[in-house]
Amino acid sequence: MLKKISVKHLKIGMFIHDFNMPWMKHPFLTNKKQLKSPKDLDILLNIGEGEVIIDTEKGGDSSHAYAIEEAQKEIDARLQEDIKNVKSSELGVDAESADAKGREVPFEEELRKAREIYSESRQLLKKLFEEVRLGVNIDGVRTRRTVENMIASIFRNRDALLSLARIKSFHEYTYQHCINVAVLSLNLGMHMGILQDELLYLGVGAVLHDIGKVLIPQALVDKPGPLEPGEYELVKTHAAHGARLVLQAASVPDECAAVALNHHERYNGAGYPRKLSGMEPGKFGLITGLADVYDAMTTNRSYQEGMQPHIALKKVYEWGGTLFHPIYVQKFIQCLGIYPVGSMVKLDSGEVGVVCRQNRDQILRPWVRVAMDVNGKPLIQPLDVDLRKPDKNDFKKFSKSIIETLDPRKVIISVDKLLEKESVEAPEEELKVVIG
């Protein structure tokens, strides 16, 4: 039974169900705690006055404890208020101007810089993981600088870094996953109208979200196939290890530690380590949780084929309201598009290509990098086609449309190589000459 009680009336043996305060304000690792020693009590008394919620079925009771239902109602009201705040803050977001900020530099121009930023980030992550493994503190200053470069790139063009976040190789999975989660999170954060200072916290937290894995045996992290229950419990500790490592780092704000701790929490409370629910993981935890799952699902591992982006996105959509916050899922899909960058598609012209960037004003009509002509013959020079273009003979119709998504494993083109390749924008006539 849940009861509310003043901190000064707490006794050893009581079970704290909720500290009734943000996680960063108390020193305990989880929001639930069995009070076992006078030291636990001292720590709580030092935090100050106030009330916590105890569970009398799991621990001691007291005549000072009161109002079971009100206590639960209060938790629910707090969650509702949080959700309401997200909605009202969304009303204040000018999505168009946020998107406009990401269109200042043409895709091709930004892609060159984005490649450098991606490569620098990969080097940083590799060094960071090696150093932390040796017991050296996280280099907060370099991490912040790298994330600032990522943010600047995304502000110049939303799709350049995003198109590179498709790059995945077996050997560098962990580093690339951290960069990809940061790029996806920053894109979603920007789409939700998160401001620049907060974007920096989100990005640094996302880059470092899995740093706790350095303290897990490598063989377990890389284990091909499902984990035994005991192994899974061990892997789950990377969230708390990560939070501790981030808190120890100089020049890294505490908000970033919460990202490492909360990125495996789920909307319905089915996550770990604290089984938080609703808005409790905080907006950074919710954003990175989505980005983490989406990137992992779309990556080839030694034991599983990665899903195609649009199939992974469909899964994420199905999980809206259970594993993920429905509004965040909605924003994530708006941000990535119905056909995310990397989706292989067939056009009604018969040509085959890969979605290379979004048109956020028309998410069904992205840019497609055409790589095969109507006869299935690969083009020497890939051509970028804007599906928003009207038919030149009938301006009420579109020139080309997506008719189906294809399984890239059944097509001879490599999506990653195609996205990395230089391409040219195709005027209608030019495309016909090349195909003809």
Footprint of Fe ion on this chain (CB under 5 A)? Answer: 210
Question: Given the complex with Fe ion, which of 210 and 265 has the nearer CB atom?
Answer: 210
Query: Beta-strand (E) ranges in 297-429?
Result: 344-347, 352-357, 367-372, 378-386, 402-405, 424-425
Question: Given the complex with Fe ion, which of 52 and 235 has the nearer CB atom?
Answer: 235
Q: How far is the CB of 235 from Fe ion (least distance, A)?
A: 8
Q: How far is the CB of 323 from Fe ion (least distance, A)?
A: 14
What does the alpha-carbon distance between residue 363 and residue 386 come to, in Å, rounded to a whole number?
Answer: 12
Question: Given the complex with Fe ion, which of 181 and 372 has the nearer CB atom?
Answer: 181
Count CB atoms within 10 A of the CB of residue 233. Answer: 11
What does the alpha-carbon distance between residue 394 and residue 392 come to, in Å, rounded to a whole number?
Answer: 6
Q: How far is the CB of 349 from Fe ion (least distance, A)?
A: 42
Are the CB atoms for 320 and 330 separated by under 8 Å? yes
Question: Given the complex with Fe ion, which of 147 and 259 has the nearer CB atom?
Answer: 259
116 token code pair: 């450098």
Choose among 349, 430, 428, 423: nearest CA to 163.
423
Q: φ and ψ at 221, to 5 degrees? A: -60, -40
Question: Given the complex with Fe ion, which of 224 and 436 has the nearer CB atom?
Answer: 224
What does the alpha-carbon distance between residue 178 and residue 185 come to, in Å, rounded to a whole number?
Answer: 10
Question: Given the complex with Fe ion, which of 242 and 337 has the nearer CB atom?
Answer: 242
CA 218 centroid distance within chain: 23
In the chain, % helix, strand, coil (3-state, to 5) comes to 50, 10, 40
Question: Given the complex with Fe ion, which of 18 and 210 has the nearer CB atom?
Answer: 210
What does the alpha-carbon distance between residue 293 and residue 261 come to, in Å, rounded to a whole number?
Answer: 15
Are the CB atoms for 194 and 187 separated by under 8 Å? no
Choose among 166, 150, 153: nearest CA to 102.
153
Question: Given the complex with Fe ion, which of 105 and 216 has the nearer CB atom?
Answer: 216
